[in-house]
Amino acid sequence: MRTSIATVCLSGSLEEKMRACAAAGFDGVEIFEPDLVVSPSTPEQIRALAGSLGLSLDLYQPFRDFEGVGGEELAANMVRARAKFELMNRLGIETMLLCSNAGTATVNDDAVAAGQLSSLGDLAAGYGVKVAYEALAWGRYVNDFEHAQRIVDLARHPNIGTCLDSFHILSRGWDPGAIEKIPAEKIFFVQLADAPKLSLDVLSWSRHYRVFPGQGAFDLAGFMAHLVRTGYDGPVSLEIFNDVFRQTAEEGTAVDAMRSLTLLQERTAARLAADDGAARYPMSLAALPPVAEPSGFSFAEVKAEHPETVSTLLRQLGFEFGGRHRTKAAQLWTQGQARVIINGAGALEPGISALGLDVQDPLAAASRAVQLRTRRVPRETQADEQVLQAVYAPDGTEVFLCEATADGTAAWAGEFSADPGSGTDAEPLVTGIDHVNLSQPWQHFDEAVLFYEATLSLSAAAAQEVPSPMGLVRSQVMRSTAGGVRLALNIAPLAVESEPGGYPQHIAFACTDLVAAARQAAGRGLRFLPVPANYYEDLAARFRLEPDFLAALQELNLLYDRDGDGEFLHFYTATVGNVFFEVVERRGRYDGYGAPNAPVRLASQYLAAEGTLARKDG
């Protein structure tokens, strides 16, 4: 499949956008006219830049408000078109996008529109260019692609064809199946956009909220399957108007875009295979090594200049020292199947730096991730060490792809050597890592969700919003179906994000008996995150709880939730640097994360941070 992208998707100057598209691996770009108008480069310079970058210039867009007008206006529009065709010749662009008239049309007559398009085709033929007519979802008389196609058919001109845009078709609820009725040679161009389901007016929705395929609610694999069946084999291009992408560094956005288009090819191929069996079509679709969802967490890594700030908390939680790494400044702490590596190299303030996930085939998973434009983590290994596969998540977290073992042990753990006799025989209360909570930069949220879906087959649960004293926190859980891996991706309010340590991340451990675990931790001197007495009064009003149980919760700063499936008990430690820990007990089939208690946690952390700041100020 020939991949293309409109320059309007990205931030920066036209030249910066083109460089980012080439670096991300696109075959071509659409030149968005306003990007050219404000560029100091001549058309010839842009053409030369594209050539040197190996990019084709696939489309000049948009040309607006042409057809359905009176004679005088048509003459002016032909003058405009001639100027743009001359410009296209200088740029070396063969196809122009013509949007259905949304502003100046006064004649609602397909025959008139077709005649005017035919005249435009004659003019275009003189310049050796083609015009792709597209039905805007808010076009005045033409807002349905089948209607646009009827006009193109009526025009019967070799230089006049169709542009299909998934947003304009799917946002209006038109049946994309009708695409299959269009002859491939009349489809001059295809633009793809996804979008979340919103009840906004379609123009605002289109101009601000489009996202890359796979980041919204449209069935784009289904759309693509219809397109492929026509025999179309031209460029498939992304045209995404998105307020966030417009202000995010263009290199990352271009990579996100290319990842979405690569994943879409896999999904389209799967759809075609399911529906059409072994049928073959002209368009070739990129294939990826398959990946199964990860079975669990192999480890989580915290970077800390002073490892003892973190290891103290872990020891108080019942973790045992599992040894030092042979060659790296790292130590391992374990309890049950929970493994935390404290990496003494790097960060001043403690923070989560890496996750290890158990996968069936680490090499295939890494290869898939790299084909999805994910950067590999460079890593030096000694001759006798495990070669671990690792890639960067969009927020910079290193994701290690570890080999799952039948007994849940970690193959890499042998690289850590403990002093003999440091272990105890007591049955551990903590059994493993339940979930990890990572804060995300607001600009990279959609990218992060798609990254975990595409590279690791995690699924997005429903998003939640949690009030904090500094604003709403948006939380999105990504999880494996079986629940072995659960990541909570949080966007902190802007005011918080900019403060160092303003929104800490955390690792939550699963345990079998929270009250016992909390008592032991208290006995070892753990600093719990304090929970206000008012919380327990409210709890008593909301749930009928045994007085002794309620008293134990309050004594130990434990939080409680209950739903139709079961109960959830949990507590938080104090924060060190940018990280804290949580211990959770799931009773019955409770499958949530104690969301009703999150505001208590955030408020207590806010007050604790204010206290810290006050102490620092004083």
Residue 135 CB contacts under 8 Å (≥ 6 apart), including other chains: 100, 142, 143, 144, 145, 147, 148, 168
Residue closest to 152 by CA, chosen among 170, 130, 173, 123: 130
467 touches a copy of itself (CB under 8 A)? yes
> Which of 71, 72, 173, 199 is in the footprint of a copy of itself by CB under 8 A?
199
CB of 14 to a copy of itself, least distance (A): 9
Q: Which is nearer to a copy of itself, 33 or 358 (CB)?
A: 33
Tell whether omega for the bond before 467 is within 30 degrees of 0, i.e. cis.
no
12 touches a copy of itself (CB under 8 A)? yes
Between the alpha carbon of residue 500 and those of residues 163, 491, 599, the distances in Å are 48, 15, 20
Q: Which is nearer to a copy of itself, 34 or 588 (CB)?
A: 34
**What count of other Cβ atoms lies within 10 Å of the Cβ of residue 243?**
11
> Which of 66, 127, 141, 535 is in the footprint of a copy of itself by CB under 8 A?
535
> Which of 222, 566, 592, 599 is in the footprint of a copy of itself by CB under 8 A?
599
Cβ 153 vs Cβ 128: under 8 Å = no
547 touches a copy of itself (CB under 8 A)? no
> Which of 137, 340, 496, 569 is in the footprint of a copy of itself by CB under 8 A?
496
Q: Which stretch binds a copy of itself (CB under 8 A): 53-61, 128-136, 539-547, 577-585?
A: 539-547
Which class for 249: exposed (0-12), middle (13-18), buried (19 or more C-beta within 10 A)? middle
499 touches a copy of itself (CB under 8 A)? no
- Between β-strands 579-588 and 505-511, what pairing exists: parallel, antiparallel or unpaired? parallel
Long-range contacts, stretch 18-21, CB < 8 angstroms, 24+ apart = 18/46, 18/49, 18/50, 18/53, 18/55, 19/53, 20/250, 20/251, 20/253, 20/254, 21/53, 21/55, 21/254
Q: Which is nearer to a copy of itself, 83 or 111 (CB)?
A: 83
SS3 call for 64: coil
Q: Which tokens is 71 given?
A: 């004679």
Between the alpha carbon of residue 113 and those of residues 141, 178, 480, the distances in Å are 10, 22, 53
SS3 call for 456: helix
List the interface residues with a copy of itself, window 30-59 (CB under 8 A): 33-34, 36-40, 42-43
Q: Which is nearer to a copy of itself, 56 or 443 (CB)?
A: 443
CB of 534 to a copy of itself, least distance (A): 5
Residue 590 CB contacts under 8 Å (≥ 6 apart), including other chains: 561, 562, 563, 565, 566, 567, 568
List the interface residues with a copy of itself, window 413-442 (CB under 8 A): none
Q: Which is nearer to a copy of itself, 287 or 495 (CB)?
A: 495
- Between β-strands 296-303 and 338-343, what pairing exists: parallel, antiparallel or unpaired? parallel
Q: Which is nearer to a copy of itself, 295 or 443 (CB)?
A: 443
253 touches a copy of itself (CB under 8 A)? no
Cβ 51 vs Cβ 86: under 8 Å = no
Q: Which is nearer to a copy of itself, 207 or 379 (CB)?
A: 207
CB of 244 to a copy of itself, least distance (A): 8
Q: Which is nearer to a copy of itself, 187 or 496 (CB)?
A: 496
**What count of other Cβ atoms lies within 10 Å of the Cβ of residue 531?**
22
Q: How far apart (Å, rounded) are the C-alpha atoms in residues 142 and 93?
A: 26
Residues contacting a copy of itself: total by CB under 8 A? 55
> Which of 122, 513, 537, 565 is in the footprint of a copy of itself by CB under 8 A?
537
542 touches a copy of itself (CB under 8 A)? yes
> Which of 72, 201, 380, 425 is in the footprint of a copy of itself by CB under 8 A?
201
> Which of 48, 83, 111, 463 is in the footprint of a copy of itself by CB under 8 A?
83
CB of 199 to a copy of itself, least distance (A): 6
Q: Which is nearer to a copy of itself, 33 or 434 (CB)?
A: 33
Q: Which stretch binds a copy of itself (CB under 8 A): 66-74, 308-316, 487-495, 500-508?
A: 487-495
Q: Which stretch binds a copy of itself (CB under 8 A): 105-113, 211-219, 258-266, 599-607?
A: 599-607
| One-letter amino acid for residue 408 of the chain | G
Long-range contacts, stretch 139-142, CB < 8 angstroms, 24+ apart = 139/99, 139/100, 139/101, 139/102, 140/68, 140/100, 140/101, 140/102, 140/103, 140/105, 140/108, 141/68, 141/100, 141/101, 141/105, 141/108, 141/113, 142/68, 142/100, 142/101, 142/113
> Which of 191, 248, 437, 455 is in the footprint of a copy of itself by CB under 8 A?
248
CB of 208 to a copy of itself, least distance (A): 8
470 touches a copy of itself (CB under 8 A)? yes
Which class for 346: exposed (0-12), middle (13-18), buried (19 or more C-beta within 10 A)? exposed
Residue closest to 590 by CA, chosen among 483, 462, 488, 437: 483
> Which of 48, 217, 279, 472 is in the footprint of a copy of itself by CB under 8 A?
472
> Which of 122, 243, 308, 513 is in the footprint of a copy of itself by CB under 8 A?
243
Q: How far apart (Å, rounded) are the C-alpha atoms in residues 326 and 417?
A: 7
Q: Which stretch binds a copy of itself (CB under 8 A): 49-57, 273-281, 463-471, 499-507?
A: 463-471
CB of 137 to a copy of itself, least distance (A): 15
200 touches a copy of itself (CB under 8 A)? yes
> Which of 47, 140, 150, 246 is in the footprint of a copy of itself by CB under 8 A?
246
Q: Where are the beta strands (DSSP E) in 50-184?
A: 56-63, 95-99, 130-134, 160-165
- Which residues sit at the interface with a copy of itself, rule CB under 8 A? 11-13, 16, 33-34, 36-40, 42-43, 76, 79-80, 83-84, 87, 199-201, 243, 246-248, 443, 467, 469-472, 493-496, 530, 532-535, 537-538, 540-542, 544, 599-600, 602-604, 606-607, 610
